[in-house]
């Protein structure tokens, strides 16, 4: 059993329309230097949600696992950014530098003579002064431990397993114990997943502005989403979730 699609769908639509209708906003002091990161990560959540739903509609929900994992990771990254603001700039620069270094080494190892390595060196020179003090925050596990919540972790492990060449990803196409090939993998409705993570990312993103965006719209959406989840939990015998007050 999953959250009722017909109830979650309007909330997803309204969340997506909030940004589409945005005309003007001012970043909160302390977030300006990382505004490009906040915007980019929020866009990946928004576009990821759209991509997951499109794949589900065409029978490819199982193949959307890497996108779902991306959505979770960026929602947690937004929580980190919202807490620390501009202070994360050096850590993200360090991560960018590490990625470029690994790519440069791989290109050299593959002997790709068509690639100009000088450009890599120029970018690395621009990033070399970044403070390494918080490199531990380059890893999802540390970010979620410090800035997320326990409920963020299980779905990330699940989607990671499905995204990798693992038992979980293989068995999606093979029914046991009957040992039959599954032509089209079974699909779990994705609307509840999309509603929850898009709402989470939107609530974090809205708070990065002065004044915060989309109030009272988001308060109403939170109340409706919580009501859906509470009814679902009651119907399935799950314990109620201890939601914080939004009044």
Percentage of the chain surpassing pLDDT 90? 81
* pLDDT reported for residue 185: 82
CB 217 within 8 A of CB 92: no
Give mean pLDDT, residues 203-221: 96
* pLDDT reported for residue 24: 87
Give mean pLDDT, residues 186-196: 92
Asked whether the predicted pLDDT for residue 191 surpasses 90, the reply is: yes
Cα angle value 97/98/102 (rounded, 5°) = 115
Count CB atoms within 10 A of the CB of residue 92. 19
Question: Which are the contacts of 177, defined by CB distance < 8 A and separation ≥ 6?
Answer: none
Q: What is the mean pLDDT of the chain?
A: 93
* pLDDT reported for residue 145: 96
- Per the structure block, which two tokens stand in for 122? 């120029």
At residue 194 the predicted structure's pLDDT band, cuts being 50, 70 and 90, is very high
Q: Give dist(CA 146, CA 42) in Å, integer.
A: 20
E strands present in 87-236: 174-175, 180-181
* pLDDT reported for residue 247: 53
Tens digits of residue pLDDT in 105-144? 999 999 998 999 998 999 899 888 889 999 999 999 999 9
* pLDDT reported for residue 244: 74
* pLDDT reported for residue 189: 93
Asked whether the predicted pLDDT for residue 224 surpasses 60, the reply is: yes
CB 240 within 8 A of CB 230: yes
**Per the confidence metrics, is the pTM higher than 0.85?**
yes
Q: Give dist(CA 61, CA 52) in Å, integer.
A: 7
Percentage of the chain surpassing pLDDT 70? 98
Give mean pLDDT, residues 53-79: 96
């Amino acid at each position: 059993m999953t959250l009722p699609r017909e109830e979650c769908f309007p909330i997803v639509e309204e969340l997506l329309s909030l940004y589409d209708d945005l005309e003007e906003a001012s970043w909160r002091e302390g977030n300006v230097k990382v505004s490009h990161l906040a915007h980019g990560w929020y866009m990946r959540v928004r576009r990821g949600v759209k991509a997951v739903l499109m794949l589900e509609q065409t029978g490819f929900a199982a193949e959307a696992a890497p996108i779902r994992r991306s959505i979770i990771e960026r929602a947690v990254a937004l929580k980190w950014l919202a807490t620390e603001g501009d202070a994360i700039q050096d850590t993200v620069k360090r991560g960018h530098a590490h990625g470029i270094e690994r790519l440069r080494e791989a290109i050299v190892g593959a002997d790709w003579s068509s690639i100009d390595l000088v450009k890599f060196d120029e970018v690395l020179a621009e990033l070399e002064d970044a403070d390494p003090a918080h490199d531990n925050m380059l890893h999802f596990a540390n970010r979620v431990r410090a800035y997320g919540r326990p409920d963020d972790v299980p779905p990330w492990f699940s989607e990671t397993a499905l995204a990798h060449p693992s038992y979980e990803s293989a068995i999606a196409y093979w029914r046991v114990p009957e040992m039959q090939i599954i032509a089209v993998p079974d699909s779990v409705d994705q609307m509840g997943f999309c509603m929850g993570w898009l709402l989470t990312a939107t609530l974090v993103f809205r708070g990065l502005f002065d004044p915060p965006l989309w109030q009272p719209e988001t308060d109403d959406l939170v109340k409706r989403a919580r009501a859906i989840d509470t009814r679902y939990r009651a119907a399935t015998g799950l314990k109620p979730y201890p939601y914080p007050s939004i009044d």
